Chain A
Amino acid sequence: MSERYESHDVDVLVIGAGGAGLRAAIEASAQGARVGVVCKSLLGKAHTVMAEGGVAAALGHVDPSDSWKVHFKDTMLGGKMLNNWRMAQLHAQEAPDRVRELERWGAVFDRTQDGRILQRNFGGHSSPRLAHVGDRTGLEMIRTLQDFGVHQGLEVYMECTVTKLLKQDSRVVGAFAYWRETGRFVLFRAKSVVLATGGIGKAYTITSNSWEYTGDGHALALGAGAELIDMEFVQFHPTGMVWPPGVQGLLVTEAVRGEGGLLRNAAGERFMERYDPKRMELSTRDMVARAIYTEVKEGRGSPHGGAFLDISHKPAEMVKKKLPSMYHQFMEFANIDITKSPMEVGPTVHYIMGGVRVDADTGAATVPGLFAAGETSGGMHGANRLGGNSLSDLLVFGRRAGAGSAAYAAKAPGHGVIDPAQVAAAERELLEPFERASGPDPYSIHRRLQQSMHSLVGIFRTEQDLMKGIEEILKLKAEANAVRVEGSRAFNPGWHLAHDLRNMLTISEAIARCALQRRESRGAHARLDYPNLNPELGDANSVATLDGQAVRVSQSPLPRMPDELRALFATEPAGVQS
């Protein structure tokens, strides 16, 4: 094999270079592993860069009564108790250390009056808990991790796309990839692999995600025989831009509401009073997204089909200091000065709670040698993620998956044997679209998938829509198998999309089938035909696996929370609503 392809041998291969991937790589490297990081874009451009509001950690700098137990409880209640309790516990316990560690690596967070890391309010968090840098926290984090990792000696393979995991018997032993620049193929031999490729936002029309978020890690895991859990839970962030058309879906940080921003409908009413009178604008994302959607649907929307989000009652200097990106974003893209006028906002696909089923402590997937972290893994956020818990998730579980994968690699007998048949099949799959004389183009299939997912597997769901959605996805899957690509293999976005499309279709099917299976409304999964939460389904994870090209779904029992943690919820008998 090695004569035919450029090949690289590493101990741990990390796929994805956002926060989770970089944190995993840094940890694996610190444990003595030789680490390779592969990413589809240039280093430092992953979606973590877009995270704005902050990283949730119970540091207690602003509210000294905050503790990991309160953070844990907020997270579980926000996730409608469907979270993996152990992940939620580790997350709440370790997030403060991970944030302090980042500061030791050079991150410069905003400060309190007494010179410590400042924290702000966010939806669903019962204390000001989000450490932040204005509204560009993600950029600060990714740059800190990037620079720390580079100086630590990570081998980074930029603009390189992994299309298949390679196995020897049951174990993952490597990956097949292509260089985006040249289209040439490359083989990685690895003792363990960490998936950290983010989410699947690009399967939807209106999304805050970039071109990269095509469910690659989810699909690679399924293809390698791993299980995905809770894929029906897709987070619509309540506040994306709705106008002008070119920036529809672009994120408007929750920090606007955290800093005191108010939501109003066309009649000037603070409508959250009717949906969550206690928490109002700082309710959880699932609630606020559905509220805005309902206001628009019932004719009380803003001129471009959203709600008004207003921060103009706050001093202009404070707005510019705490929300500088939002100020510029609206000024430059929409000609709106947010210190003077309200913004128009509406729901945008932002995040998937579901993902690869992992062991909470090590990030190990259900296939030997395979690990996952961050958005690609499932369980941590249950049915709905709280804002700010993603940046802390990727630090806590990036580190844990890095340690887990390095420990696995250290115990492995050596590199596995690469099976030429698997490599040949991966190569065929990539080359076939060039060889077809005719066939649909990938862009048109992609547009139809996005429309179907948005209208049939969207913010509110019904059995009828979901069935229609699945039918449509299967039709598009067949078309994607016959797709034709023009041009050469050198930096050809049409060709890249042709492959990414396969991942999107597989994962879209997993989302739709899990959504059809869950006959209740819980967190981000809202069924018009089953509008209430069904307590019996609170004990079940949805499970998706791959059988050939078909996605199969089932259910498995939720890991049971120990009594001492369960006791924290004793005073919340009605705390869990859909």
Chain B
Amino acid sequence: MPEAVLHVYRGDASGGGLKEYRVPLQEGMVVLDAIHHIQGYQAPDLAVRWNCKAAKCGSCSAEVNGKPKLLCKTRMDALPPGQPVVVQPLKAFPIVKDLVTDVQWNYEVNKRIPPFTPKPNAEWRWKQEDVDRVQEFRKCIECFLCQDVCHVLRSHGRTDAFAGPRFLVRVAGLEMHPMDALNRTKFLKEDAGIGLCNITKCCTEVCPEDITITDNAIIPLKERVVDDHYDPVRMLIRLVTGKKKGE
């Protein structure tokens, strides 16, 4: 039976390195199958997160040959033949052990997003076309690959100032919901740090759900922030009427 060679990161916060494993190659095999084979026969304590194995839960995020990927969706036969497959943990988050990283920060950011707030006394009827866009955002499986690839988080480590693409997508889903009554531009500007995104679209490229993150979510949100907070006409109106931003 043909074999695959994997170089898998083994280690924790105190250090570690790549370790070589060989596994029998099966037709249609994905990288997660190989990792499970290593666990089941060679390294029972190899740490990896996974759940659905169907690209629907977003648990098995890691980096394959340096690229953010879902391990369950990355087929071995799509990787360069004859070369070891390098599997490493997400780089943007602190390592816990082996392929598992500490993604707790994402859950903290999520808590700060002003929640869905339905309009009072509205009729809950809308056309399918009116929610196609919102449904696109709600496809997100929270794999955090977009967070991992985003240079604001990955290279500059600005978890203190930037919510990351995942949560801009979540806000877009709320802002564009036909029944939502809240305005989140102040949150986007001051807390989520939307200005830090300079639209390189790396997030859109890695999204396993094919959400057009930059064009459909982030840019429209940036426009709303500009309208509410930087539009000179509106600034003047606010000055005259004494109304606050976002009202």
Q: A39-61 interface mask toward B, CB cutoff 8 Å, 1 = contact, 0 = none? A: 00111111101100000000000
A443 to B36, CA, bound (A): 10
A246, B138: Cβ atoms under 8 Å?
Answer: no
Query: B142 near A: Cβ within 8 Å?
Result: yes
Number of interface residues of B (CB under 8 A): 58
Within 8 A of A (CB), among B91-136: 96-98, 100, 102-104, 107, 110-111, 115-116, 118, 124-128, 131, 134-135
**Assuming the A-B contacts A251-B54, A443-B44, A491-B47, are A106 and B116 also in contact, with contact meaning beta carbons closer than 8 angstroms in the complex?**
yes
Query: B59 near A: Cβ within 8 Å?
Result: yes
A492, B115: Cβ atoms under 8 Å?
Answer: no
A329 to B30, CA, bound (A): 13
Report B-chain residues with C-beta under 8 Å of the C-beta of A211: 50-51
**Assuming the A-B contacts A41-B59, A332-B55, are A139 and B139 also in contact, with contact meaning beta carbons closer than 8 angstroms in the complex?**
yes
Closest to A444 in B: B40
Report A-chain residues with C-beta under 8 Å of the C-beta of B174: 106
Distance in Å: Cβ of B111 to nearest Cβ of chain A: 6
Query: A169 near B: Cβ within 8 Å?
Result: no
Within 8 A of B (CB), among A132-147: 133-134, 136, 139-140, 143, 147
Report B-chain residues with C-beta under 8 Å of the C-beta of A118: 128
Q: B125: which of A115, A139, A334, A485 is its contact (CB, 8 Å)?
A: A115
Q: Which one of B21-29, B156-164, B187-195 is at the A interface?
A: B21-29
A374 to B125, CA, bound (A): 30
Within 8 A of B (CB), among A451-486: 485-486
Query: B199 near A: Cβ within 8 Å?
Result: no
Main secondary structure of the interface of B (DSSP, over half): loop
**Assuming the A-B contacts A108-B135, A243-B28, are A493 and B44 also in contact, with contact meaning beta carbons closer than 8 angstroms in the complex?**
yes
**Assuming the A-B contacts A114-B125, A151-B115, A442-B44, are A41 and B29 also in contact, with contact meaning beta carbons closer than 8 angstroms in the complex?**
no
Q: B45: which of A45, A108, A495 is its contact (CB, 8 Å)?
A: A495
Closest to A116 in B: B125
Closest to B111 in A: A150
Query: A429 near B: Cβ within 8 Å?
Result: no
Report A-chain residues with C-beta under 8 Å of the C-beta of B115: 106, 147-148, 151
Q: A140: which of B33, B41, B138 is its contact (CB, 8 Å)?
A: B138
Q: A328: which of B51, B52, B55, B103 is its contact (CB, 8 Å)?
A: B55
Report B-chain residues with C-beta under 8 Å of the C-beta of A105: 116
Query: A441 near B: Cβ within 8 Å?
Result: yes
Q: A215-257 interface mask toward B, CB cutoff 8 Å, 1 = contact, 0 = none? A: 0000000000000000000000000000111110011000000
Pairs across A and B, CB under 8 Å, 20 listed: A42-B103, A47-B52, A49-B141, A104-B118, A106-B180, A110-B128, A111-B127, A136-B139, A148-B115, A151-B115, A210-B57, A245-B28, A246-B26, A247-B53, A250-B54, A325-B56, A332-B75, A485-B45, A493-B48, A494-B45
A residues in contact (CB < 8 Å) with B: 41-47, 49-50, 100, 103-106, 108, 110-111, 114-116, 118, 133-134, 136, 139-140, 143, 147-148, 150-151, 156, 158, 181, 210-212, 243-247, 250-251, 325, 328-329, 332-334, 441-443, 447, 485-488, 490-495, 497
